[in-house]
Every structure is written in structure tokens, then in C-alpha cells.
Chain A
């Protein structure tokens, strides 16, 4: 089967608070940076993928691209991982040669951003909204008390996820928060939705990024080392957190991971670098277990024992993650970017020379999942 590579990858010039950038402008800036990173011009792009709004038609038009392949998959923050997967299939099928995947989101400044609105007649409008849910802090968070009771995860272990990731962020000049924090600091931060304190919740920022995906036959003809797409997976579980099958594990994470690892023909021991979408501190715990890095109920202690922080055996969320680096709302693009940087050896907090990086993306509230297995070399 034809190999597929990420030939270009870049974020917007700045991330954080960018009131002079609209959502569309963030897509455009990320796209231009990624295409330049690949040493290409916009004329070379014949496929486009992004979420709505603004969506692939608007982004392609803004850039003067006439696509012969379009993917508007919009299933939350993991969408960009699914775009990589779909682009790989399209390139293998000959539907496109060079695909541009863009993300931009004025999540904090809300410039040119669409307004999220749920109809009162939708399933969630009837069966969740009436109970005073107010965004992800009140829904994504609900499963964790069940996990804590069933598996003995402590408040201190949950807080330590933020501590470990801040240690990576401290090494990254682009991270929003870099000052060290302790478990006591996390537990003393403002209560948002018990048991989650402010420092266990992700940031809300502005930013963007983009990827250029093409055939591995062209590896070596770009300025940066090719990053090989070795395996991919996707799944969905539930549109409403209340209907998640088992509050102590993510079925979508597990299924997407199994598909990606099987396609890449790797096991957890082959993974040198890992990104797990961390909208909240419990998501890396669910992710480590769903991907099989630790047994059920073991991830909290695994992180608290230092295994995932600088110097640990399994570098996790090395940009600082959504908790400390940035989180525009659909963070998945930034998780992919960090995986690419680590494999190229150009990360701010470089974790050795990993041969394989795995990216686990979440969409919605444990609603959807995408997994990418990326490698320095083809397998």
C-alpha cells in the first residue's frame, strides 16, 4: 500500500490572545505557514480539509485553491486527525495528490467565530440542557467521580496530571502557562465543577495550524524530514455524555487506538512519544488506559509516579497540552503539530529522538476519537 507522509506542518505565528485575527485569518495564516514549511506553493494543493465554520469551501476560496477533493468532517477537536486519515485514503485512491488540512479558532477573542447553539428540540436540548449544563466543564467532567470510586483515583493524582504537564510547558516558550505548580496549587485553585479545579481545566485561546499531506513516494523532496503516517483509527461513541457506555473507559478511544496500532503493526512498547488530548485532567488517564499503556485503574498512579513528565519513560503531552500550552476549542491540530515536531527533532521540549509518536484526539465529550501513529521512518 502506498505510504503517506506529513510534508509540511506549522502553527500560526502566535497563539494565545489574538484579537486582531478572525477565525478565517487564523486558518489562512496556519495554511500559508504549513505550505511554506513544505517548500510548496498554494498552486500545489489539490485537496482541502477542515471543519465548519468556516469550512473547506471558505478556506479553499480564501487561499485561491480549487480542490478536486474536499473533506468537511466536523466531529469536534479530533476532526483534524480524521482529516489526516481520510486524506491518506484519498491520496492512495488517487483522488488528491497534496492535501491541506487547516485549523483556526478565535476561541478566546471570538472574532469572526460562529456561535455555538443547541436546539431545545435536539436530544441534548431535551435531555441534558434543562439540567443546567454549561459547556464542557459541566459535561466532559461528569464521568470522573465514577472512575474515582471504582478505581481509587485520588484528587491528588488527578491534580498531578496538571503538575506533570506544567513541567513540559516550563520548557516551551510558546506555552501559555510555564510557572511550576504543585498538587497543592492545583487543589487550591478555584473550584469550577467538583471535582475539577481551574488548573485541571484547559485554557481557552486563539490560534491555528495546518498540515500538508502527500504520498510517501515524494519523501526526501521537501525541506523538512518526512513524517510517515503509519496507522490511523477513528470511532464515535455518544453525542451525550449521559449516554456514554461505561463512565470509567472510553470505547471510542479504545477502538480508534486498536485500529491505528494494528495498521501500523506496533505495540505500546514501540511508542517513544505520546500526545493525548487533554481538555481536562482526567482525559490523559482515560487515554493511557484505552490505548493499553497501563491496565485499567493504573493511569493515575502511573502519571503521579513521574513516568510521563520530563525524564520519564513515556513522554506525554510534551508541549504542555491543553492544560498549559494552548486550547483553542478544537485542540487536535496542536497535538498533531507536537508529534510532528518531536519526530523531526525540532520540539521546544525535545524528548530524545522518538522513532514513533502516537496522537490520540478527542472530539466533544468522549463523543469521538481519532488516533494517528506517526513515524520517523516507513515500516
Chain B
């Protein structure tokens, strides 16, 4: 049995994973044009500036879209069906995640519902997932 995939940080993503380990959702924004963005990279995708900085996001998000997967990926056999979601952070950027603390049903998962980040151990990193806003 294969375990769940464990992300391997690269130098430009390490601060994100360090944040997760500390229980914080740290993402980047452009110090010139002010736009927050995700996934981590050393250049602003909006204006091309290399003058970018890390900050701690609120962890608040809304449910943007999802599927409920019935054919589990390796390591997810015990969880199917499970939701693979994309959430929109309060700061704007979107990220893929899993939804925790709610049944994986269309009735329980309403688009635009408020969510809050949580962190789950995965191998040697902490993985951000989202559950109902407290």
C-alpha cells in the first residue's frame, strides 16, 4: 500500500512549508503593485517585479469549486469518496485543498461557504486543509 503523496519543498517554496509547520498560512505579495499571489515563486505574476515579500494570510477562505472523487488516488483508499476542492483565500489567491470536518456530499459542501485553514501532518511537512469557519 502506497502512502499519500508528500510534497517536497524547493528553495522558493520553503517559507510556505515553514509557515505550515508553524501553523500559519504564509503566502507572497508584490511589494510594488501590492497583489497577493499563490503558488510561491520569486516574481510577481501581475507586474513582473522581483520585489516580493512573504506575509501571513488570515486563513479565511470560501469554497470556490470542487469534485467528490469516487476513484481514490493511492493512499486515499480509506477516504473515498472525498472532496478535492479549490478555495479562494480572503486575500484573493486560490489554492487546491481537501475539506475536513464536513461530509463529502453535495448537500454539505455549498459553494461560497466560509472556511478556515487547518493543518494536517503529512510525512515530514504540515499540509493546509480547510474546514468550516469557526
Interface residues on B, range: 35 or more
Nearest to A127 among chain B residues (CB) is B39
Interface contact A192-B70, CB-CB below 8 Å = yes
- The verdict on A127 contacting B5 (CB below 8 Å), with A132-B84, A143-B65 known, is no
Which one of A125, A134, A242 contacts B72 once the chains associate, using CB atoms below 8 Å? Answer: A134
Q: Is A194 an interface residue (CB 8 A)?
A: yes
Which chain B positions have C-beta within 8 A of A193?
67-71, 84
Q: Are B8 and A125 in contact (CB under 8 A)?
A: yes
Cβ–Cβ contact A121 & B10, under 8 A: yes
Tell me, rounded to whole Å, the shortest Cβ–Cβ distance linking B99 to chain A: 10
Closest to A197 in B: B70
Q: Which of B27-80 contact A (CB under 8 A)?
A: 39, 64-76, 79
Instruction: Name A132's contact: one of B6, B8, B72, B86 (CB within 8 Å).
Output: B72
A-B contacts counted at CB < 8 A amount to 115
**How far is it, in angstroms, between the C-alpha of A28 and the C-alpha of B81 when the chains are bound?**
42
Give the contacts of B100-127 with A (CB-CB under 8 A): 106, 111-112, 122, 127
Q: Which A residues form the contact surface with B (CB < 8 A)?
A: 119-121, 123, 125-134, 137-139, 141-146, 149, 190-196, 240-243, 247
Q: How far is the CA of A91 from the CA of B9 in the complex (A)?
A: 44
Residues in chain B near residue A129, CB distance under 8 A? 5, 7
B85: which A residues are within 8 A, CB to CB? 131, 142
| A120-B8, A132-B72, A132-B76 given; A127·B96 CB < 8 A | yes
B94 in complex: contacting residue of A134, A137, A243, CB < 8 Å:
A243
| Given known A-B contacts A141-B67, A240-B96, A120 and B7 have beta carbons under 8 A apart | yes
Contact status A138-B7, CB under 8 Å:
no
A142 to B82, CA, bound (A): 13
A130 to B122 alpha-carbon distance, docked (Å): 9
Given contact pairs A125-B7, A126-B39, A132-B79, enumerate 16 new A-B contacts (beta carbons under 8 Å).
Answer: A119-B8, A126-B7, A128-B96, A131-B96, A132-B82, A132-B84, A134-B73, A142-B86, A143-B65, A144-B65, A149-B112, A191-B70, A194-B81, A194-B106, A195-B106, A196-B67
